[in-house]
Structures are given as structure tokens and as C-alpha cells.
Structure 1
């Protein structure tokens, strides 16, 4: 805007010099927006968008502390609404110009994904004080952060740089981040000139407020513009330093870019966020610790949400562990619980159900990721019967009994089995067997039993406790000689396992309908002085007042109730009253049988009505009286209706128990209830005092159900079904009984469907049309009704004929091996046996499920090849070699055979195994050794223009070979500042991997470059071991000097004077050592007394040399020379020419030589 520092439109720049660079940035923008628009709402796809990196690069601890205060202020803004960021902060810790120690973690963060990278500290256009200077090292394809640097000149990419045309090597830091293909950043914000910390802080605080909160989700251009408006919108009051800082800000990238933002919150719970401690839970633990984290991968809002954590027990009961209203999560929150274990109800397969925002109060990006159901097991040190199957039909003698330990890795124990013909295990037949063994499949051979035909046997198993009670698990079967296989319920204790509704099975083995009591309340009063409203004339059954009101006065009203369910008789409405009763005058009176007491014929009809009521039925009696005596006839009047035969209403009621009926001699009301012809019920009756008081009586009436059902437990699973058979009988002759059966199909998922209804005349039904693949389980249901006698049909047995499915179990007691602990990188062999203990073969190759859950609770499924088709009695092995390289720390191994019951089995609890594996982490750094032509050089030493640089990386691990070229990186910075990364090939740089069999875990690089340009180079070598431990806190850096001209310096002997021996010190330049070097030693008269050849001198190289050879003061024949002064000179030859003299900087050794001759002094 004119006169301000605020642009009319947001401005961004792209420092591209060709179309290829523009294309690279355009492709990154497209990819960036495509990722933002993805509909996948998982932590892997969107969680990284909440990540921020804060880095601090001060020159000393005081600056770092000051900058950290600033950065903590930005962090607080970012973590709040709306961004809800996860921020990691790194500060420079050394005094070196560039800090590299934290590089590894920073590289990991780039790979995981970052939305925003903030740097505050010293910088230039090409580097920062924290090592963020090599974006090519970051593997962050598709996860490009926005870079924001507060320092000096880092945003200046306008300076003329001839090397820029060479591409990446000549780019400024900002250009490198923007133009790296599929790497780097999506935008870069920095100052083009110098920065002053407090003023940079003003700007940063305002920008953070805009992009994290005030203008969240807007473009970065508009957010920057708003910050400029906020800080610089009033030029008249703007101080100089604030203004120049606003003017220096340069956005490198698209101003229309929207930094990762979300329209709504999205609360996520995923498997890896839930952790159980211990990993393997047993009932002996008494409790376990549960840690549940949940994450918001969307917008952070200030709200509240309800979180529930439930435990679904093996019997499908739901236990609520946590139900609270908590503040809505900005980024991540957690709930930690200590959950008690009930050993009776909790053992077996449990499910944890975590639900976020249970009530759906908060509008989210996705509602499908709010609930997680996670299976977990609570093991009991118990033994469960598995064969013969429960309720099965056995048709052969001398069978083997199999049981499985709930914990397949139980140690050496004693196990017991008992068998009897009663579930009480107290008959004379009872037999007991014990066996010793370790966990897995336990086999009992009961050879001393002869089964009796059509007899049900109960058998139970347990571990033998060292103290306390046995933990028994019971199963049953029936022996039917020459029978086909299937499932049967025929014995008392078996029938008790059925779901029985409104019925019961007496200990005398007789089925009965359930008995219960009903409360009856009868209300009455003289009309209209005591009662005038419908509810005042009511018969209430257990509080229900459906029966109320009357049809006028001068009447007697009967209500009749069945002794089965207390159901009332219904009169006709509308229409003529039944049984000679008066017509019903309204729907509320349709249960009344009302007779006019002023009419003799009606009184006689009432007598006939009472006579036809079946014995055992309940009858309520009440009259309707007016205040005038003439509105009634009375007891004496009724008595005289038939004084000879006593066939009167008076006599019927008095004989029924209304003993005070003679008191009905004036206007008043009465209530009476009795049970016809049943003296077990004591009649209840009462009169009102007169015409003004209301009358209420109460009675408790015993009744029984007239219908009920018996529903079997799940029977099966079966591979095929053939017949349904049952046997039973009526309890007594006569009408009233009604019975039928349902065959209910149950899928493997537990969905039930009625398949057929069978009447009582069909007792052997073909059910082969039922598809066992669809309905491997069946459930039987009997419906029983008797409204006359109240006696149910007596079920003896019901049976389902069919072919059994197979049953297998993990059998560590046959074969199991796996270490408890190992060194990282060590191969751990897992081996587990699985046995088919049934008489049926599996129909297909066996599948396996193998999961390694690491120390971070992240599951790592492993794909294993299928096993063989397992026939009856056969065993297969589950084998896997675990490479522990990626699993340091505490891990849990989960092995499952036949996962998800891919081939249906009778049981699945015995198909799984959990095992802890601790991997000792490799925390040792490898050793890096670098030599030039066999020598460890000093910084800025002279080396050959064609050196042989040998890099050795050695690691202590005995298991993780340094065999990957990615473990080593070699870079050379040339004299012009260009940094070149060398790659492995057959010529310049060769890689020799380590060979663990040799006992030496060392990788070798043979690096033979050619440096044609004279000057100072810098070699940068980084190395790490297989697990990422770096060879030192910082990379190896060494500067060296290349001089292409072949020369040799003055050769000095050291020490000089010497007594025993002296070596020779000199420097060679060029690219190779001369073919011939000779040192001649002469007397002062010029006589050569010793000539030392190149071979004698030992290894020589281009650069500084100190010879391994030491002259001991003897002549060419080995004779000791006399003390004194000797002369020496050096003769060289390289390709037929002698070498010129090399003089190093500040070197002045010529004064020790005269015409090429030096002096040495021998003093013995």
C-alpha cells in the first residue's frame, strides 16, 4: 500500500534460472496440495502435518538461552488453537561454527514429516549454525515443510554467483530447499540483510499468531501481509529498526501456498496408541496397566468430548473402565488406568473398546476413526478339555482325551483328568488320571474305561495346584454304539446348560413352567357418594388398571383370570354379552361380566356363569350399589331364588368362601376374590361401612407360566449337517399342549437365522440342505405351551447329526524354541509345533500369523509361507528366523496358526502363543579410520593429486555386517567451495563390504580421486552402523593441500646430532613418489661411506614423510663410523628428471644446506 510497508497483494519470488527448476517447484506444489486433499484420515497419512521443528543457533549459551525464550513463546502459540502442533526443539550445544550433533534426529523428523521448520540464530545465505545445510540428505518426498529462518542474509538469493549456472552446487541455501526434486521445502522465508534478535522476535510472534490462529488455513502470502499490516501499517509511528526488518523479509515460493491446515478437528485412536503392561497378562498379575493415547490430526478447538474405555469380557459382558468428559485434544492426550483382574470372568480373549467423542458432539473430518477394538488375552494357568468335543456323540471305545493349557508356555506341571457319569463327579464310576508335562497339548489315555451305550459322560481337567483349589474345566459327551457322529443333549446337567425361559428342570428330571405371584387390588364404592370415576371401580393386576369402570348400578360384576399368566377373560364388545351377561358399555369394561341384580333371570345367568368357570381359575366379584335401598337386591333375596335346591347366587358365593355374604343387607359395596375349587388359596373379601367410604382389598395370587422355551447352547461347528432328531412325551393326556421346534443357523460371526420350524409329529428330520459352510453352528429351540393343564412337554433329548470339523493346537511340548534375549542384529530362530488332535483332516494348506510388536507398541506383521495340509494326528512346524536388527528393546512375539479361523476349528484359544523377546540394543558407535596413501594426515597436509584414500568403518557388532554402501558417505569440498558427493563404482570409489565370517566387521572404501586443481580441499566422511549409530558426534573433516608439480623439500635428519640412529624428514609434492630416491652420506673429504636406497627408506608418499628407516651410523659394510661431522645429499628421479625443490610457506631450511649438501653430527 502506498506509504506503508504493506504490499497491495501478497508477494512471493521464485529464484529459478531455467524451466526445469520452475517445473520441479510446480510438481512439488501439486504433490503438496494432493496430499492435503487426500481423504485418508489416519495418523500415517495426516499425523505428520501437526509436526514442527524449532532449531536455535546462537553463538554462546547466553544467546541460546535468550533465543529459547523467544522460541518457547512461538511454541505456546503453535500448540494452542487452531494448529495444535507437536513441536520438537533443538539448540546448538558446541562452540563450533556449525553444530552437527543433532543431525540424525533432525533427518528422522524430516523423513517422518514436518509442516513447519523454524530457525532462530546466526546464518548466511549458504548456511545455518545448526546443520540444516544439506537438504539433499533428507528423505521427505511428499512431506515438504515451510522453512522460516530468523537470522542474517539467508533470504538473499539475488547476489551474483557465477557457480549458480552449474546447478545445485552453486545454489544458496534457500534455493537448495526450493529446487530440490522431491525433497527440500515448499517455501522459504528469511531476511535478505542483517537481523537483530528482538525485532525478529516481534515479527515472528505476529506471524505465528496469524498462521496458527488468527488466519489459520489462509494463504502464507495473506498471513505475511497481515503481519506486515499489524506491525507496519502506521508508518508515522514505526521505528527505524522495525521498518527495516519488515522490508527485509523475502518469501521464496508461492504466496498462494496454504500451510497444512484442517477445516475441522479429527480425533483418532489407532492400534499402536494402546499399550498393555505387562505384554503377556495372566490372572496371577491381579491387575494390568493400560495406557491409551489418542490424537487430533485436524484442527485444534477449545471444546470437550466424552471418552469411554470398555472391556468386553470373554462372556460378552461389557465392563466400563473409563467414562469421562475431557478437554478436546489439541494434539495428543493419554489415559492411564490400572485395571483389576477377576480370575473367574476375565480369563481368555478380551476386547478393549476405546471410543472418542462418544456423543458425537464435535463435528469432525471423519467419524470412522473414533473407535478402536483391540483384542488382548488374559491367561489362566489352567487346562481346558478339547477332545472329545463338548456335547459330541462318541461311537467307539478306547478313545484318547486331549486338553490344552491356556498358556502354551506353562512350565513343568502335573495335570489331572476326572471322568464320571454325573457332573457332580461323586458317583462310584468316577475315575481319575494324572500326568506330568509342560504346556501345550496334554494327552490322557483312559484305557481302563468301557463306555455304556446311551450314557452321557462328564470329564474335567485341571492343573494340580501347589496349594489352594483346583481350577476345573468340564466337558461332556454321549456314547452311542454304532452311531454316526454329531452333537447331543440328553442328560439333566447337559440340559441345564440350555437357555431356559419361563420353565425349569426339576432335580427329579421333570420340566415345569415357572411359578410366580401376582398382586391383585380391587377398588369399589357406592355410587355416587363414595365412587363416581372409572378408576374408582378397578381391578388392578400388578398395578395395571386396564380393568376399570362399570356399566351402571344394581349389578354384580365378575372378572375371571387364568391361573397361567393371570390373563383375564374378555367379554364381547361391541355386541351381546357372553354367558348371559349384560352388554358391555365401553372398551374399558370389556373384561367385565356384569349381571343385573334386580333381575331374577340375570341372577340365574350369573349362577350358570360361575358354574362353567374351570376349576383353578381366579374370580373377582364386586357389586355396584346406589344409595337408595331399592337399587339393590340383597343376600336374603338371592337365597330365596331357589330355597329347595339352593341353586342360587347366594349359595355359590358362600360356598366359594364369601362367609360374611349375609351382611349384604343394605346399600353398601363388597369385593371378593377366590380360586375356584382350590382350597390352597384363601379367599379375600370385605364390605364398605356404608355409602360414603371407598373399599379396597389386596390379594397375592400364585400363578404359573403357560408357555416357555428351551434354547440349546451352540452345537457344532460341523463340516456338514445330516439330521435333527428328538424325543419327548406329553406330561398328561388331554388338549392344551402345543409344542414345536426351531432349527436356528449361526454363522461363524455369530449371526443367527431361523432356518426351519418342526412340529411335534416330526421327530427325525433331514437337515442336509443346511449349508454348514454358511452355518457351521446350529442352535435348537423348543417352544412349549399348555394353557389348560399348565404342564409342559417333557423333552428327553435332541440331537444333531453331522460331520466334525478338525481341531488343532499349538504344542510347545512337542517342539518349541526361541531365545528370551539376543543382541541387536542377531538372528533368532522361532520354531513351534502345531498338532491336529482330531479325527478329521484339515482341508487346505495351513496359514500363519506372525506379529512382532516392538518397544514403541507398533505391530510388525510378517508374511510366512503356508504350511502343509494337516491330516489327522499329524504335526507341522511353524518356523521363522527373526532379524532383530530393527527391534531393539522389549518386544512381544505373537504367533497364530490358522488365523481368524480361516479353516474352522472347534476351538481357537489353543492356536496362539505370546512370547517376550528382549533385544539388547546396539548403542556402540562404529570406528572410522581414514588414511591418505597409507598415512593418517594432519589438517592441511600436502597429499597427492591422485591419492589412494582408504576409509575403514569398523563396528563391534557380531551380527550386523557393514555391507550397505548407504552406511558411508564421501564428500569433497573443492578449492572454489563446490561440494561434491562421490558415488560408488568400479573405478574412482570402490566399496568392500564387511565379512562377518572373518571375525572382522569392517567395511572398506578405496577412494582414488584425481584433483587437477591446485589448492586446499576438504574431505568429509560420514559413517554409521546398520542401526544408525554414527561414527562420532560429528562427521570426519580433514583439509588437505594439492600441489600438482612434482617437487621435494630439503631433507632433514632427526635427531641431529644423534647417538644411536637418525631418521629423515621431507615433503614430496605432485601426484606420485619419484621412482628413485637415494641418500648419500659422505665424509667431510667427500668420500661416500653410505648410500641409502628408496627400498631401504620404507614406504614413502606424496606429502610430509618421516622415514621408517633410521641410519645407525655405520658404513655400507656395517662398520661403525667414527664420531664427527658428515655430509649428505638427496638424489631423485621421476620419469627421468630430477625434482625441483619445494619450499613450504614460512619455511627457511636452505640455511642448513650448501649446494645441496646438509650436515649431520654423529656423537656416540
Structure 2
């Protein structure tokens, strides 16, 4: 059983013929296949039928149970996690039809054993359900028969480091009625059996000549016949003396460390004691770890540790990543298997296995997306440069999973004619800048810069969605912003706001094209035409293509800082690009200007 665990065994069945009292035999049909689509991983016949039941319904289990004739005995038991809690009604129905009902109430990973005589109302139906995963089920069931022959077979003995001797003794209940023979059977590493002696006559036999390399295991079978009284010979004892191989066992009572929940992307660590309970040394210990995540996907890892000396204990420590690329949020199961696949000789394997559940708290926080045009957050429909620097920044709270892949951005542009253009990162017009993996404790941000030339006048639309490494989107809907492009460089009339003003006023205007003027000057004059204040471009603050409101505020003082008198003032603007006056960009505010001259009123 245990040596087939790596093939996904979760449920075991055995069948006893009620007429002969013999168990059904399951031969190997090739690979890991046995009769009735069961798992049979050994070349020699076995007495059990193994299945993987980690899906909601395994039809092979139902077909197998249907093949068992009425009146035959069926033994069934779970192996580690049989996933009974996930079975659908069809799967449970295979068992309910046999009179099994307690199986329906299993909602956790607990051991389960059942024994019954198929469709025999006179024979009880036995079901035993453990309270916890570590519960031990120790029970027995009785069967009746009327047979004149049979055999007693020992369990597999070994593996051995050396064989010494065999002693045995029997007695009969009635004199002269019994015929017996004791067989000595050698078993190799593959499970192939070889009868070494058909009938061992001596009750004390030396085995020192047997090769443990050829036969690391032995088995005894006592055949008995009594056609007169139908009573079997009584076996007083049989013993094989040998030096065992070492035996390792997981022992969490000595040392165990593990968190039952962890935030996604944080590392998860397990540490558990592995003890050599024999005085014989073991080589470097191989350990397999398997994580079954919330989607029932298995992820397998292995690690080799130091040699395990006789009577010694080592701590098995392993660190797991819990990012979305590997695991999913929810309940996960960790399986630990020391010395997997009989990496080195050992007495038993059941105590090398451990399973524990834990909960991964998913990352469900959306990343933040920020979009600017030439460093400005624009309004929908705003006028922008025909050659803008469009900058998109995506920020995430995760300190463990960097935003480092272009697939985290989905970007496209809709042109004035309605055509759609997906943005390709070509490092010419579209650039991607990944998050700094070494600085995630401070910031986890990635950015995209578009340097497009929009040569056609009209209204465009930018559509963007950003994702973090968990798949969380930056918003329920894509970010969409429309913008207008006018390629011809022009400047509108400049309004001052507020107007009238008492303490200060700022200047509002619009620029088109793709370049700001090299020279720009605002002249403020009295009603007689005398210039009392000149404001130059470097005084105005940041100027950009589109709608501008100056960072500069005029406070009603003249060129020397003296306060001007209340009253009406005129102002005009000069803007040069490449040595030429910029053309006028007409707006609805033109009605307030005459020959490019505007009016403002100072009222303290």
C-alpha cells in the first residue's frame, strides 16, 4: 500500500470470497495498472485494489463495487486524505447503495473504515469514522465459513541488514488429522516472490546463507489441511531473527514549527523533527514536500538533508513561496514524506508521512493607476500637445512581488476616425520601466511612457488598465480619457482671473501645437498707454500645451513694487515661436478683447 502512495492512492478496497474465504488477487497489468482500473504499482499480485478519489466522482470505484458478487465481504478504508468531503452525490451513492451512511457526514480530513457483506441483510454493516486526522482506528470484524483447508501467511518481514535464523512450532487439536507444510518465501526490492523452501522441516533453521541484497524481505506461509475434523493446526509461534535496517519517523512531539495561516507572498516555513528510532545509521535524508492548493493543483519539491545517525534526530526545515504564481488563496494542504520511494532501506514508511492544512490569505487589494500628460492630470476632452509625454504609473502595496512585466499593462488608443491601436512596447514610442526589486519595502511601482506623435487634428481616447501580480485590476473598469489635438501652434487671448480683483489676479490662456513659445510677455498699461508692469515667461511658472492658469499672481504693483491706484488697466500679450508671432487661437472669450488688448479692473 504505502509504496504506491506517490501514485495518488487515497482509498483502499479488499474483497473476501465468502465461499472460499480467500481474498481477491490483483495482478499487475502493466505500468501501475491493476484489475478494474485500479492502481497496482508492483509487479507481483496484491490483495488490495487502490484508487485515487481526489475528484468529485471516480466512476471506476462505482464499477469496481458493482463487480463484487452479492454475499462477498468488502473491506474499505481511506488512505491519508480521501477527499470524501468533496465527493458529489453520485460518488457517495456508490457507498450508500451498500448501506453505508456515516460517510455522508464527513466534512473534514478524518480516517474512515467500513466492512460489510454485500447485500446480506443478516450481516451487520460496520462503519468507523475517526474524530481527527490523527485518530487511530483499531477494530476487527468476524466472518464465518466451513472450510477444510487454508493457510496462515505472515506479513512481509524486513527489510533486513542480515538474516540469522527461523524457529517455529505448532500443535494439532486432534491427533493424526492435520497435514501441514511451512513455506519460506524470499521477496526482492520489486516485490517479486521466490519460494526458497516448499516445506521447512526443522523447527530451528539457520538463514545466515541468505543474501539480503537479493532478498531484503522474507515471508512465511503455513499451509494446513484437515478433511476429518475441519480444524486448523494451531500455530504456537514462528520467528525470523534478523538485524533490521534503520527506521526513521517524523516526530512532531519533539519539534514542530508551522503557521496555520499566512498572507499571500509572505514566505512560509515548516520545521519538524525526524528521528532515527534504531541504533543503525542512515545516509543523507531525502524529503519530499507536496503542496495541494485551493484549486487542487499539486506542487512538489524535494530537499536532501544531512545523514541521520542511529538514535539521533534532525530538524527538517523548508521554506515555501506563497505567491500567486505558485499557490492560490484559501485552504492549502502540505504533505511531508521522508525517504520517498524507498530512497534507502527502511523498516516502515507510514510514520514518514505527515499532512497539515493551512490558510493563505489572498492579496485582494487593487493597485493604483495614475495617468498624466506632460506632467499634468487633464480633464476629459482637454487640449494636449500633438507630441505629448503620456506617463502612466502603477503602484501596488505588495512588498514581495514586483511589478516587473509588460503584461501588467493593457493600453490602447482610439483615433479620431474610430480606429484602435494597441500599444506595443517597442522602446521607441512606448517604454516600460519595471519596479525596483531591491526597493520594494519602500515602493513597488512600474511605469509606462508613451512618446506618440499625433499628426491628425481631432479627438483621441486613451484606454488603460493595470494589474498587479495577483491579477487584481486597478479599477472595476478601464481608465478612459479623451483628449484633443491641434497641430498648428496658436495662442488664445489671455484672461485674468478674478476680474475685477483686489489683492491678486492670475492669467488663463490656451496653447495649441506641440511646442510652447520661446518668448512670452504680458504688458500691463494705464488707460493712457503707459506700461507700468511687464511679466515675462519665466515669471509665469510652468507653461504647457493646452489650458493654462499661471502659477504667477499679479498683486497690482508696478515694475518697482509700488502699489498702483484703483482703476481700469489694459494689458496685451506677445508670444514668439521660432522668431515669429504665434497665430491667434479663437475662443468664446474673444468678445472681451479689442485688437488683442484686454481690460482688468483693480479695486482694493
Residue aligning to 1:1015: 458
Q: Distance in 1 between matches of 2:195 and 2:246?
A: 26
Residue aligning to 1:827: 267
Q: Distance in 2 between matches of 1:969 and 1:789?
A: 86
Q: Quickly say closer, same or farther: Cα 1:953–1:308, change in 2 above 3 A.
A: closer
Residue aligning to 1:1158: 598
Q: Distance in 2 between matches of 1:1043 and 1:1060?
A: 36
Superposed, 1:176-187 pairs within 5 Å as: none
1:986 matched to 2:430? The reply is: no
- SS of residue in 2 equivalent to 1:781: strand
Residue aligning to 1:936: 377
Q: CA deviation at 1:710?
A: 4.8
Taking structure 2 as the reference length, the TM-score comes to 0.72
Residue aligning to 2:562: 1119
Residue aligning to 1:1087: 530
Q: CA deviation at 1:991?
A: 2.1
Residue aligning to 2:497: 1054
Residue aligning to 1:1065: 508
Aligned residue among 313, 337, 362 for 2:104? 337
What CA deviation, in whole Å up to 9, does each residue of 1:996-1022 have, x standing for no partner? Answer: 535333322222222222222211111
Superposed, 1:609-620 pairs within 5 Å as: none
Q: Quickly say closer, same or farther: Cα 1:323–1:1120, change in 2 above 3 A.
A: farther
1:292 matched to 2:90? The reply is: no
Q: CA deviation at 1:905?
A: 3.2
- SS of residue in 1 equivalent to 2:104: strand
Q: CA deviation at 1:1129?
A: 1.8
Q: CA deviation at 1:989?
A: 2.1
What CA deviation, in whole Å up to 9, does each residue of 1:878-934 have, x standing for no partner? Answer: 413232424122222223223354445333333233222222333333322211011
Q: Quickly say closer, same or farther: Cα 1:833–1:983, change in 2 above 3 A.
A: farther
Q: Distance in 2 between matches of 1:309 and 1:755?
A: 47
Q: Distance in 1 between matches of 2:227 and 2:262?
A: 74
1:883 matched to 2:326? The reply is: no
Aligned residue among 786, 796, 802 for 2:242? 802
Q: Quickly say closer, same or farther: Cα 1:1126–1:983, change in 2 above 3 A.
A: same
Q: Quickly say closer, same or farther: Cα 1:1138–1:736, change in 2 above 3 A.
A: same
Residue aligning to 1:134: none
Q: Quickly say closer, same or farther: Cα 1:1055–1:859, change in 2 above 3 A.
A: same
Residue aligning to 1:763: 204
| 2:289–2:334 Cα contact (<8 Å) kept | no
Residue aligning to 2:410: 969
Residue aligning to 1:1134: 577
Residue aligning to 1:859: 297
Q: CA deviation at 1:709?
A: 5.3
Q: CA deviation at 1:1102?
A: 0.6
| 1:274–1:290 Cα contact (<8 Å) kept | no
Q: Distance in 1 between matches of 2:580 and 2:410?
A: 39
What CA deviation, in whole Å up to 9, does each residue of 1:1037-1096 have, x standing for no partner? Answer: 222122222111111111111112211111111112222222222222333322222222
Q: Quickly say closer, same or farther: Cα 1:1115–1:895, change in 2 above 3 A.
A: farther
Residue aligning to 2:540: 1097
What CA deviation, in whole Å up to 9, does each residue of 1:667-709 have, x standing for no partner? Answer: xxxxxxxxxxxxxxxxxxxxxxxxxxxxxxxxxxxxxx8x875
User: Greater relative contact order: 1 or 2 (C-alpha under 8 angstroms, separation 6 or more)?
Assistant: 2
Q: Which runs of 5+ in 1 are unaligned?
A: 1-267, 276-282, 295-305, 311-319, 325-335, 353-376, 382-405, 408-470, 474-496, 503-515, 517-564, 566-704
Aligned residue among 366, 377, 386 for 1:925? 366
Taking structure 1 as the reference length, the TM-score comes to 0.39
Residue aligning to 1:780: 220
Superposed, 1:19-168 pairs within 5 Å as: none
Q: CA deviation at 1:792?
A: 9.4
Q: Quickly say closer, same or farther: Cα 1:803–1:983, change in 2 above 3 A.
A: farther
Q: Distance in 2 between matches of 1:1120 and 1:962?
A: 55
Q: CA deviation at 1:1135?
A: 2.6
Number of corresponding residues: 508
What CA deviation, in whole Å up to 9, does each residue of 1:536-561 have, x standing for no partner? Answer: xxxxxxxxxxxxxxxxxxxxxxxxxx
Residue aligning to 2:473: 1030
Q: CA deviation at 1:969?
A: 1.7
Residue aligning to 2:54: 271
- SS of residue in 2 equivalent to 1:883: coil
* Rg comparison, structure with higher value: 1
Superposed, 1:434-583 pairs within 5 Å as: none
| 2:363–2:470 Cα contact (<8 Å) kept | yes
Q: Distance in 1 between matches of 2:540 and 2:521?
A: 9
Q: Distance in 1 between matches of 2:245 and 2:556?
A: 97
| 2:163–2:212 Cα contact (<8 Å) kept | no
Q: Distance in 2 between matches of 1:270 and 1:786?
A: 43
Give the structure with the larger helix fraction.
1
What CA deviation, in whole Å up to 9, does each residue of 1:969-995 have, x standing for no partner? Answer: 221122233311122243322222334
Q: Distance in 2 between matches of 1:349 and 1:749?
A: 29
Q: Quickly say closer, same or farther: Cα 1:766–1:1068, change in 2 above 3 A.
A: same
Q: Quickly say closer, same or farther: Cα 1:736–1:927, change in 2 above 3 A.
A: closer
Residue aligning to 1:896: 337
Q: Distance in 1 between matches of 2:545 and 2:107?
A: 75
Q: Distance in 1 between matches of 2:388 and 2:404?
A: 24
Residue aligning to 2:520: 1077
- SS of residue in 1 equivalent to 2:105: strand
| 2:402–2:440 Cα contact (<8 Å) kept | no
Residue aligning to 1:226: none
| 2:55–2:83 Cα contact (<8 Å) kept | no
What CA deviation, in whole Å up to 9, does each residue of 1:173-207 have, x standing for no partner? Answer: xxxxxxxxxxxxxxxxxxxxxxxxxxxxxxxxxxx
1:811 matched to 2:251? The reply is: yes
- SS of residue in 1 equivalent to 2:581: coil
Residue aligning to 2:69: none
Q: Distance in 1 between matches of 2:509 and 2:264?
A: 48
